[in-house]
Amino acid sequence: MSDRSKLRGRDVVSTSVVGLRSRRGRTLLTALGIAIGIASMVAVVGISSSSKAALLAQLDTLGTNLLQVEAASGGLSIEPLPIDAEPMIRRIDTVEAASAVIDTEIEVRRNAHDDTVVGIGTLGATPEFFETLKATVVVGRPLDDGLQSLPVAVLGDVAAIRLGISDLAGGPTISLGGQDFVVVGILDELPLNPDLSRKVIIGDEAAVALFGIAPNPTSIYVRITPEEMTDTRPLLAPTANPARPAKVEVSRPSDLLEARAEVDQNLQNLLLALGGVALLVGGVGIANVMVISVLERRGEIGLRRALGATRGHIRSQFVLEAALLSGLGGVLGILLGSAITIIYARRQSWVVDLPPEALLSGIGAAVVIGMLAGFYPAAKAARLDPALAVSGGTG
Amino acid sequence: MTAVLTLEDVHRIYPGSPPVKALVGVDLTVEAGQMVAVVGPSGSGKSTLLNIMGTLDRPTEGRLLIEGTDTSKLSDRRLSGLRSKRLGFVFQSFHLIETLTALDNVATGLLYRGTSGRQRRAMAQAALEKVGLGDRLHTRPTKLSGGQRQRVAIARAIVAEPSLILADEPTGNLDTATGDGIVALLEQLNADGATIVVITHDPDLAARLPRQIEVRDGAIRTRAGEHRALENEHRTVEGGADR
């Protein structure tokens, strides 16, 4: 007859479950520590990833194929772009649309007698401006060829608010550099080019003709066939200013938006670390409770030893109990963290994005912490002298 | 007859200053089918003796043989296995798991033998019927009387059909009438062939059993004058009684 103890795998699990079930209140409270840690980590990951998903979805609709060509800043003098830079760029096959704009210093007032509205500038733009930037008006109309040379203006959304104009009822006018301009439209928000929100846009011809502004463009916005981005981008500087390509700067406005999605990373790491601390505290809590539990359950441990449990069986029972306890906390934490993420994302009208790997690693982390927390108490339980344990220590 | 249990010159000394000599040279043989009372006042060493017989404790010196197997050199795993297959325990304080039903408590007696859950339950039911609790299978210990709890514990001890049942003060937590019922049950099991050792401090209980072994100051002395005829056939060796 073979005299080895045997414990079936599923019986190891059910034995541990019995241990937890017999102390429901304590089990829940102990699991709560882990749940809070996991919940905060899941929420941090879920919220930031939902926010990023929302941002990327926005980028997707805005397109990442818009480039901005500018005279390079830096150095003592800024070399302005040549007047024919925009027509030259437009000649490149892969350019879908391009628009030159002239940043002017024309002062903006509500009316001729009012003070200058600080922080709002005037921009002279070619008619392709709206198409190139996919800029739409919330009210009124964009500028077109017919309006180019007339004293009419389209307001950026912020500029409109600052000028106190919210609709076009009664044909509102503003005063630009002492001349009255009729407002014909108000722009929608431009997430890729937030600087344009603070501009009053007039025709480039009007800017040159009515204010004597130099016709050199300050910036050229270029929309490129998406697949040809990498090939086309290097062509822009030499095309815009063949004599001095180094004096031209090409940037992609969507990069800024994308960078904003990444900036949160530091904060996210900090919050994750805080969640990790909560998790560690939860783990210590589990270790504490398990140590107490082992002391209280000496009789049970002695009994199991008498029934044939080896030290290894006792150890695995308690390690597994701790792991299950912590895993339960992990599940609770994931539910809680997901709920927080969903509620928060809904409020921001974001798409909810809960990365499955974050959820899985949440459970995994909980189980690992639980096992680590269980090792010491389990070793204590396994080392108990069975003779003392069955008799309750009275020897 | 086969010796179920043999103690050869067993000493158990607990280290300390001064060291406690709980057992000093015990020789004892229990044959299959016997029912033995180990009696003695508290502090006599009978609990130590029980722990050593149950392999829960190891002798400092001397040997313990269970059905001829020398336990002194067995690993924890083998020793545990030996307990799971050949020994059954009944404790004064029952040691039932409160969240489990009577059936599951008894089935625990087979847990560490690797028996399947289905078979454990079937055998547990049979054992409970044997102790007269066939109608209490799904009752939790908290809903049972003391006597019923001890019956559940006895069912757990016999469910694996061990070679030896060790009962430590099985009536210690029970009133006289209930205790008598438990002793009657043990006698019944013995009549059916079980080998049983009962540890008790109660001389009246011991007197009811066919063979008595008295422990005093860590050694055994047979009780003169109270032996039944059967008793004389068995070899009961005294060891260092007057030390």
Residues of B in contact with A2 (CB under 8 A): 81
- Give the residue carrying structure tokens 């029970």: B174
Name the residue among A3, A305, A395 with its Cβ closest to that of B85: A3
* Adjacent-strand bridge partners of A69: A220, A250
Residue A4 lies in a domain: no
> What is the predicted pLDDT for the residue at B233?
42
Mean pLDDT score, A315-319? 95
Tens of pLDDT, residues B112-164: 998 999 999 999 999 999 999 999 999 999 999 999 999 999 999 999 999 99
Q: What percent of chain A has pLDDT over 90?
A: 54
Domain C-terminal end among A194, A216, A251: A251
Range from A73-82, A145-154, A298-307 carrying the lowest mean pLDDT: A73-82
Nearest to B4 by CA among B26, B46, B36: B36
> What is the predicted pLDDT for the residue at B228?
41
Residues of A in contact with B109 (CB under 8 A): 307
Q: Does the structure show a pLDDT above 70 at B234?
A: no
> What is the predicted pLDDT for the residue at A266?
79
Residue A3 lies in a domain: no
Mean pLDDT score, B174-197? 94
Question: Does residue B86 sit at the A interface (CB-CB below 8 Å)?
Answer: yes
Residue A1 lies in a domain: no
pLDDT category of residue A264 using cuts at 50, 70 and 90: low
Same domain, A120 and A198: yes
Residue A15 lies in a domain: yes
Give the H or E element holding residue A363: helix A356-383
Distance from CA of B200 to the nearest CA of A (A): 14
Residue of higher predicted confidence among A168 and A259: A168
Domain C-terminal end among A218, A251, A284: A251
Domain C-terminal end among A251, A266, A289: A251
- Copy the structure tokens of residue A367: 């189980």
What are the structural domains, with CATH classification, of chain B? 33-57+75-227 (3.40.50.300)
Give the count of domains, chain A.
Answer: 2
> What is the predicted pLDDT for the residue at A392?
59
Averaged confidence pLDDT in chain B: 88
Tens of pLDDT, residues A369-379: 999 999 999 99
Same domain, A175 and A121: yes
Same domain, A165 and A135: yes
CB atoms A1 and B85 under 8 Å = yes
Residues of B in contact with A390 (CB under 8 A): 51, 56, 89, 91, 95, 168
Name the residue among A22, A306, A313 with its Cβ closest to that of B56: A306
Residue A395 lies in a domain: no
Nearest to A195 by CA among A138, A119, A144: A119
> What is the predicted pLDDT for the residue at B64?
95
> What is the predicted pLDDT for the residue at B132?
94
Residue A37 lies in a domain: yes
Range from A1-15, A255-269, B72-86 carrying the lowest mean pLDDT: A255-269
Name the residue among A4, A18, A299 with its Cβ closest to that of B81: A4
Residue A347 lies in a domain: yes
CB contacts < 8 A, A to B, total 110
Q: Does the structure show a pLDDT above 70 at B221?
A: yes
Helix (H, G, I), strand (E, B) or coil at A360: helix
Chain A contacts to B (CB-CB under 8 A): 1-8, 10-11, 15, 18, 21-22, 299-300, 302-313, 385-387, 390-392, 395
Give the H or E element holding residue A389: helix A386-390
Strands A248-251 and A108-109: unpaired
> What is the predicted pLDDT for the residue at B12?
94
Name the residue among A299, A305, A307 with its Cβ closest to that of B111: A307
Same domain, A217 and A291: no
Question: Does residue B94 sit at the A interface (CB-CB below 8 Å)?
Answer: no
Residue type, B12: R
Residues of A in contact with B100 (CB under 8 A): 18
CB atoms B80 and A5 under 8 Å = yes
Is cis: bond before B15, omega within 30 of 0?
Answer: no
Please report the DSSP string for chain B in residue order.
--EEEEEEEEEEEE-SSSPEEEEEEEEEEEETT-EEEEE--TTSSHHHHHHHHTTSS--SEEEEEETTEEGGG--HHHHHHHHHHHEEEE-TT----TTS-HHHHHHGGGTTBT--HHHHHHHHHHHHHHTT-TT-TT--GGGS-HHHHHHHHHHHHHTT--SEEEEESTTTTS-HHHHHHHHHHHHHHHHTT--EEEEES-HHHHHHSSEEEEEETTEEEE-TT---TGGGGS----BSTT-
Q: Does the structure show a pLDDT above 60 at B235?
A: no
Same domain, A339 and A271: yes
Q: Does the structure show a pLDDT above 90 at A260?
A: no
Q: Does the structure show a pLDDT above 60 at B6?
A: yes
Residues of A in contact with B112 (CB under 8 A): 5-7, 304, 307-310, 313
Residues of A in contact with B47 (CB under 8 A): 391, 395
> What is the predicted pLDDT for the residue at B224?
46
> What is the predicted pLDDT for the residue at B162?
95
> What is the predicted pLDDT for the residue at B198?
95
Same domain, A177 and A51: no
Tens of pLDDT, residues B35-48: 999 999 888 889 89
CB atoms B81 and A308 under 8 Å = yes
Residues of A in contact with B91 (CB under 8 A): 303, 390
Range from A186-195, A255-264, B205-214 carrying the lowest mean pLDDT: A255-264
Q: Does the structure show a pLDDT above 80 at A262?
A: no
Same domain, A187 and A119: yes
Tens of pLDDT, residues A269-290: 888 898 889 889 999 999 999 9
Strands B3-14 and B61-66: antiparallel
Side-chain half-sphere exposure of B53, counting CA atoms within 13 A = 31
Distance, in Å, from the CA atom of B75 to the CA atom of A77, rounded to the nearest integer, reads: 89
Domain residues for the domain of A34 are 9-59+258-390
pLDDT category of residue B175 using cuts at 50, 70 and 90: very high
Residue of higher predicted confidence among A192 and B108: B108
Same domain, A117 and A234: yes
Q: Which ranges constitute the DSSP H helices of A253-310? A: 253-296, 298-306
Residue A156 lies in a domain: yes
pLDDT category of residue A263 using cuts at 50, 70 and 90: low
CA distances from A21 to A14, A18, B99, B145, B213 (A): 10, 5, 8, 23, 43
Residues of B in contact with A393 (CB under 8 A): none
Q: Does the structure show a pLDDT above 60 at B26?
A: yes
> What is the predicted pLDDT for the residue at A270?
87
Same domain, A19 and A116: no
Interface of B with A in 112-131 (CB under 8 A): 112-114, 116-117
CB atoms B76 and A311 under 8 Å = yes
Question: Does residue B191 sit at the A interface (CB-CB below 8 Å)?
Answer: no
A80 close to A74: Cβ distance less than 8 angstroms? no
> What is the predicted pLDDT for the residue at B138?
96
Same domain, A48 and A192: no
Same domain, A331 and A238: no
A312 close to B77: Cβ distance less than 8 angstroms? yes
Same domain, A299 and A247: no
> What is the predicted pLDDT for the residue at A60?
79
> What is the predicted pLDDT for the residue at B237?
40
Q: Does the structure show a pLDDT above 60 at A327?
A: yes
Residues of A in contact with B93 (CB under 8 A): 299, 392
